[in-house]
Structure formats: C-alpha cells, structure tokens
C-alpha cells in the first residue's frame, strides 16, 4: 500500500474519532440532550441505509424499490436472536448484527438470482413485490409477533454503535467502488451491453453489489430494532423504501457524499416540520418531481468530497506561488 494512501486512511481515522469525541462531549455536557441524541442516532441509521441503497441504485444503476424489505429482515433476525439467546449484551449484540447482515445477504441472493438477469424496470418491479411479500409474511408469522410486531427488544443500540457502523459502511462502499469490482459495477451502469462485450460477467457483479447492499441494510435494520425497542411489519412498507430512495436521488445517484448529506437533511427536516408530518410523503413526492425536472443528477451529481484532493490542490497552489516568487524578473529592453 502506498505511503500516501496510508497517510490518507490515518488522517480520515483521526477525523472520525475526533468528531465522535466532540459529539460525546456535547452529549455528556447536556448541549445535545436525549431528544437530539435520538435524532442523531436515527440520522446515522439513515446514512447507513442511504449509502447502501446508493450502491445499487447509484453506482450499479439498478432501481431498487424494496430496500426497506432487507432492513426489516435484518431487524427481525437481530431482534429474535437477542431475545432468544442467553448471552451478555457485549457478546449477543455484535453477533445479532452479524446474523442480521448474513440473513439479509442470503435473502438478497434468493431475490437476486432471478431478478438480476433482467434489465430495465423489471428489477424495480420485483424488488417492490419482494418488499410487500416480506411485510405480509411477517404480519402472519407467530415468531415475528404477527400484526402486533415484536415488543420488549432490548435497547442495545448506542450512539457509538450507529456512528462507527455508519463510518465503516462509508469506508466499505468507497473502497468497493474504487476497487476493480467497483469499476466493473460502474461500467455496467454506463452501458451493460458494452460491459458484457468486454468480458465483464455482468450478472456476477450485479449480484455482488446487490448482496452487499442487502447485508448492510440488514445491519441497519438490526441497529434500528435495538434502538426503537418495538418493530412492526407496517413500518417497513413501500413508503419507507421511497424515503431512502429520495435520499439517494436528492443527494445525487452515484455520490456517497450526496447520500450522506441528503440523509442528514431528510432526518432533520421532518423534526423541524413536525406540525406538517401528515404531509411528509407529499413533500417527498414534490422533492422527487422537482429534482427530476431541474436537477436530475441530484444536489451533488457524482461529486465526492475528498480531503486528500483539497490538500493536494492547496499544496499545488503553494508550489505555484513560490515558483513565481523565485523566478527572476525579466529585464526591460
């Protein structure tokens, strides 16, 4: 690994830990009270969901309308696990998140095998159907609590968990996108027929991105279940999937930075407009229409914030300035 890359990773790690320390100090001193701490927790869960959906809808270019379905699978899997094992919380909760991710990944494979051979809007229709089927199944199973849902889920999700899982999600997705596999995924988005003609196994790479996104969504569901304490199948309906889709479209499809920004805005905005909560889906619909008409690429398009690029640009400007200063002045004739 290059020295420059190692330095970039170390710098980003210091920034992540530093931001966490600042937020914890603000919480401990009461500047951020329990109400706003709860909003921050949901904000990072939404970041996890938006970044994972952006992997399939943004980078892969496949419209997925059932992302909340994978979240619900992870939420129920993690909740059932922790409620039925007799282990310390420090052991059971990490295992529950791994179970949530694994079960969601398996479900993603089952859905992806028939769906990812299709192109265009067919995948969107299948994932939409999957989300509704999962919801109906959970409504009629005794182990999931039926229509009443699961209650008494231990509150194990802390701010530290959602913060560092969100940071890990961003790191994993960015690393994947910059890898050889990520370049193949982007090639499929740009032109699937051309990508296939160059020898790229399009079904394999579509499945890889789809399953990775499903696994991350499942982990997000596990965090959500152990934060709220009660989960109900009706929560993970089509409207919830649309909320995540709006985050991706608003931020910019193919921009992790945009997904993060949109998740932050669309988590805080409903709290600021709580009096108009009944019109939230109307607001999301208007946002989608306006974005498609006037800024179809989203707020950031495919732009990614990179501290390394900013530092390099600053260094280049400094070098350019010092070079001009050291150049001898031309003598006038």
Q: What is the mean pLDDT of each run of 10 residues along the chain (333 residues)?
A: 71 89 92 90 95 93 90 95 90 95 95 78 84 90 87 92 95 92 92 89 91 96 94 89 90 89 88 71 76 77 66 64 53 42
Inter-residue contact 73 to 111 (CB < 8 Å): no
**3-class DSSP state for residue 157?**
coil
pLDDT given at position 185: 93
C-alpha–C-alpha distance, residues 261 and 263, integer Å: 6
Output the pLDDT for position 332.
44
Q: Give the distance from CA 110 to its chain's centroid.
A: 21
Question: Could you count the other beta carbons within 10 Å of the beta carbon of residue 314?
Answer: 10
Q: pTM for the full model?
A: 0.87
pLDDT for 118 equals 72
Ordered structural domains, the chain, with CATH: 49-301 (1.10.3470)
Q: Which two tokens stand for residue 239?
A: 């409207």
Give the integer Cα–Cα distance in Å for 238 and 136: 12
Question: DSSP letters of 125-192?
Answer: HHHHHHHHHHHHHHHT-TTTTGGG-B--------HHHHHHHHHHHHHHHHHHHHSHHHHHHHHHHH-H
Question: Given this model, what pLDDT does residue 83 score?
Answer: 92
- Cβ atoms within 10 Å of 283's Cβ, excluding its own: 16
Q: Given this model, what pLDDT does residue 12 score? A: 82
Question: pLDDT at position 333, please?
Answer: 38
The pLDDT of residue 221: 95
């Amino acid at each position: 690994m290059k020295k420059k890359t190692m330095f970039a990773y170390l710098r980003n790690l210091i920034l992540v830990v530093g931001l966490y320390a600042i937020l914890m100090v603000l919480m401990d001193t009461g500047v951020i009270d329990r109400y706003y701490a709860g909003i921050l927790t949901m904000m990072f869960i939404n970041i996890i969901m938006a970044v994972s959906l952006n992997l399939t809808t943004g980078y892969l270019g496949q419209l997925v309308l059932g992302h909340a379905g994978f979240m619900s699978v992870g939420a129920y899997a993690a909740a059932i696990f922790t409620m039925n094992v007799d282990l310390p919380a420090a052991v059971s909760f990490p295992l529950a998140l791994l179970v949530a991710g694994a079960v969601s990944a398996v479900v993603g494979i089952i859905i992806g095998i028939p769906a990812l051979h299709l192109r265009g809007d067919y995948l969107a229709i299948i994932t939409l159907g999957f989300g509704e089927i999962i919801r109906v199944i959970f409504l009629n199973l005794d182990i999931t609590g039926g229509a009443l849902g699961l209650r008494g889920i231990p509150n194990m999700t802390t701010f530290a968990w959602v913060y560092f899982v969100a940071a890990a999600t961003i790191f994993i997705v960015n690393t994947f996108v910059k890898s050889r596999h990520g370049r193949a995924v982007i090639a499929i988005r740009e032109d699937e027929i051309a990508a296939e003609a160059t020898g790229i196994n399009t079904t394999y790479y579509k499945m890889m991105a789809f399953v990775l996104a499903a696994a991350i969504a499942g982990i997000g569901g596990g965090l959500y279940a152990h934060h709220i304490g009660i989960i109900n199948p009706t929560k993970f309906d089509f409207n919830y999937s649309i909320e995540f889709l709006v985050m991706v479209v608003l931020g910019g499809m193919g921009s992790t930075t945009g997904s993060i920004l949109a998740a932050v805005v669309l988590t805080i905005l409903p709290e600021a407009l709580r009096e108009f909560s009944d019109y939230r889906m109307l607001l999301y619909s208007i946002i989608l229409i306006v974005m498609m008409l006037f800024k179809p690429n989203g707020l950031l398009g495919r732009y990614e914030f990179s501290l390394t690029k900013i530092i390099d640009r600053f260094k280049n400007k400094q070098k350019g300035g010092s070079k001009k200063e050291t150049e001898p002045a031309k003598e006038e004739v």
